Chains A and B, each alone.
Chain A
Amino acid sequence: SAVISQKPSRDICQRGTSLTIQCQVDSQVTMMFWYRQQPGQSLTLIATANQGSEATYESGFVIDKFPISRPNLTFSTLTVSNMSPEDSSIYLCSVSGTGHTEAFFGQGTRLTVV
């Protein structure tokens, strides 16, 4: 398994601003993912963070809104840009385990936009 640290754990932000969430893993991993969990909802995959290249976004998510960086095999950031109250969610970083057949999750970042 992998130990995943996310920062910040929670934040309250003004609409129109941006927030960058950091994800640090205690070991090198090939695949890192970002999920969103809207209030009372399940998890939805935002994108796969690729090391050395642009992230791969899922349908409904775009780079301008959710820019992602992955400078190395242990670190990634997700930025939520130009926030609105609809962006209030828990954002979770995830990494795949050996063989890429399971995923481990950080504790999440609880974002409230006011």
Chain B
Amino acid sequence: AQSVTQPDIHITVSEGASLELRCNYSYGATPYLFWYVQSPGQGLQLLLKYFSGDTLVQGIKGFEAEFKRSQSSFNLRKPSVHWSDAAEYFCALTSSGSARQLTFGSGTQLTVLP
């Protein structure tokens, strides 16, 4: 069975500081990995995705993520956080070629201090 773990329930950073949100996965084959962001009262917005190829993927809003097969990780990073980045972030996985069963992590709530 596939699973996604986000070890950090809540992270607080100061505006302008760098950010890294952790995501570990468990899946027997090559995973399709995603990061979504959910702002208060909003649905989920796709930040970036990894299917194959270059292990460093760029997304929207200045985010990037690096796929590390050896560590079963797909951590999300941003060099300088903006106050508008405060939201909940979800890492998700699906089996290759199918979005039928997206498995989500438990989410990381990001607070940005002025």
Chain A residues close to B by CB (< 8 Å): 4, 6, 31, 33, 41-45, 48, 92, 94, 96-97, 99-108, 110
Asked if B71 is an interface residue, CB under 8 A from chain A, the answer is no
Contacts of B90 in A (CB 8 A): 42-43
* Minimum CB–CB distance for B91 against chain A, Å: 10
Contacts of B36 in A (CB 8 A): 105
What is the count of residue pairs linking A and B with beta-carbon distances less than 8 angstroms?
61
Docked CA distance A100–B51 (Å) = 12
CB neighbors of A among B4-50 (8 A): 32, 34, 36, 41-46, 49
Asked if B97 is an interface residue, CB under 8 A from chain A, the answer is yes
Contact between B44 and A92 (Cβ–Cβ < 8 Å)? yes
Known contacts A105-B43, A108-B43; is-contact A100 B100 (Cβ 8 Å)? yes
4 more contacts with CB within 8 A, not counting A106-B43, A108-B43, are A41-B106, A42-B104, A103-B99, A110-B41
* Minimum CB–CB distance for B98 against chain A, Å: 6
Docked CA distance A109–B41 (Å) = 9
Main secondary structure of the interface of B (DSSP, over half): loop
Contact between B99 and A100 (Cβ–Cβ < 8 Å)? yes
Contact between B42 and A101 (Cβ–Cβ < 8 Å)? no
Contact between A102 and B44 (Cβ–Cβ < 8 Å)? no
Contact between B46 and A104 (Cβ–Cβ < 8 Å)? yes
Docked CA distance A6–B43 (Å) = 10
Listed by A's residue number, 12 A-B pairs whose Cβ atoms lie within 8 Å are A33-B100, A41-B106, A42-B105, A42-B107, A43-B104, A92-B44, A101-B99, A102-B34, A102-B46, A102-B99, A103-B99, A108-B43
Contacts of A103 in B (CB 8 A): 34, 46, 94, 99, 102
